[in-house]
Amino acid sequence: MSAKTYTLPEKDGHTVSFSEHGNPKGPAVLSFHGGPGSKSKPRHAERFDLSKHRVILFDQRGCGKSTPVGRLENNTTDDLLGDAERIREQLGIDKWFVAGGSWGSTLSLLYAIKCPERTRGILISAVFLADRDSVAWAMEDEKGVVRLMPDVWAKRIDFFKRFNIKLETQSEDILKAFDNATPEQQKEIAAEVQDWENNLFSALSSVSRKNPEDITEDDIVSVRIAMHYGMNHEFISENFILENAAKIENTPAIIVHGRYDVLCPLQKAYELARKLKNAELIIATSSGHRLTAEGETIQKMAFDGFLEKHAD
């Protein structure tokens, strides 16, 4: 079945692109992409059985086909949740499921907390709660994931020194570095930023580094948006999701998380699952933050079974 593409009417200087995939008569699923700063991809729809389900993807503000590309003004987490509601209203959907991995899991949980009456269920993976503890572990604390990746961390610290970036204000400093950089330096900055996070996606992959010459404008936009959200703590108050989990404790939920996720360790997904009375946590034993082929199979089967159970 071919996808249908739409746009939301311009709001706050942003025009948001979204698409509809699969069976138009099936239960509706809104899939949030990762990032912040990434874009929707066909595989986000393909994790569902499109012969049975109606899957809606959208490019968050400033990302992908949403315009203006890279715009940071009026680009907050609440804005993204508001856009999701506008999509639901434009498509005439009363209630739907929400889904996503990593930052997409964050938005799924926040949407469900904000709009519980519109949420039929939650399907998430690689859980990121956007709390300071999780961010510090992955990005700031020298007693965090750096203990597993000291060689990659050392190159990151060298990069910080070259561009006068402080560990504690890195997101803000990286944005400033972009503003003062030549086009070639902007590519170098984007490559260095992506190298750190990309090497945390899988604990089983060899360390790799991007060639700045291969960095695209989309990569630069993605990093700039990520830093914008990072310097604002993702526009989410500390521990907001866990402290508001009671609002969705009876909402059906399925959580798939890699046992060896070193970017977002399993502990947070486990804590979340314990607070949700109607949630099932599935641990993908061979996966890190990026699901392995085995993990993707487990996820697809789990999501399909979940939707079959809760679609009626």
> At 46, is the pLDDT very low, low, confident or very high (cuts 50, 70, 90)?
very high
Whether 1 shows a pLDDT value over 90: the answer reads no
Confidence of residue 2 (pLDDT cuts 50, 70, 90): low
Catalytic residue among 59, 83, 219, 261: 261
* Active-site annotation holds for 261: yes
Active site residue 289: yes
* Distance (Å, whole) CA 95 – CA 312: 12
CATH of domain 4-129+239-310: 3.40.50.1820
Map tokens 């990032």 to a residue. Answer: 35
pLDDT reported for residue 204: 81
Going from N- to C-terminal start, the domains of the chain cover 4-129+239-310, 133-234
What's the whole-number mean pLDDT along residues 170-195?
Answer: 97
When pLDDT is averaged across residues 30-55 and rounded to a whole number, the result is: 96
Q: With H, G, I as helix, E, B as strand and everything else as coil, classify residue 29.
A: strand
Q: Are 262 and 127 in contact (CB under 8 A)?
A: no
Q: What is the pLDDT of residue 205?
A: 85
pLDDT digits (tens, 9 = 90+) for 90-133: 999 999 999 999 999 999 999 999 999 999 999 999 999 999 99
Give the mean model confidence (pLDDT) for residues 149-155.
Answer: 95
Non-local CB neighbours of 126 within 8 Å, separated by 6+ positions: 101, 102, 105, 256, 257, 258, 261, 263, 264, 289, 290, 291
User: Does position 45 have pLDDT exceeding 70, yes or no?
Assistant: yes
What totals of helices (H) and strands (E) does the chain contain, helices first? 11, 8
Determine the average pLDDT of the residues in 38-49. Answer: 94
pTM reported for the whole predicted model? 0.97
Pairing of strands 4-7, 28-32: unpaired
Continuous H helices in the chain: 42-46, 77-91, 103-114, 132-135, 150-162, 170-179, 183-198, 217-231, 240-243, 266-275, 293-310
- Give the mean pLDDT of the chain: 96
Look up 206 and say whether it is catalytic. Answer: no
Residue 289 carries which DSSP code? S
The active-site residue, picked from 102, 105, 125, 171, is: 102
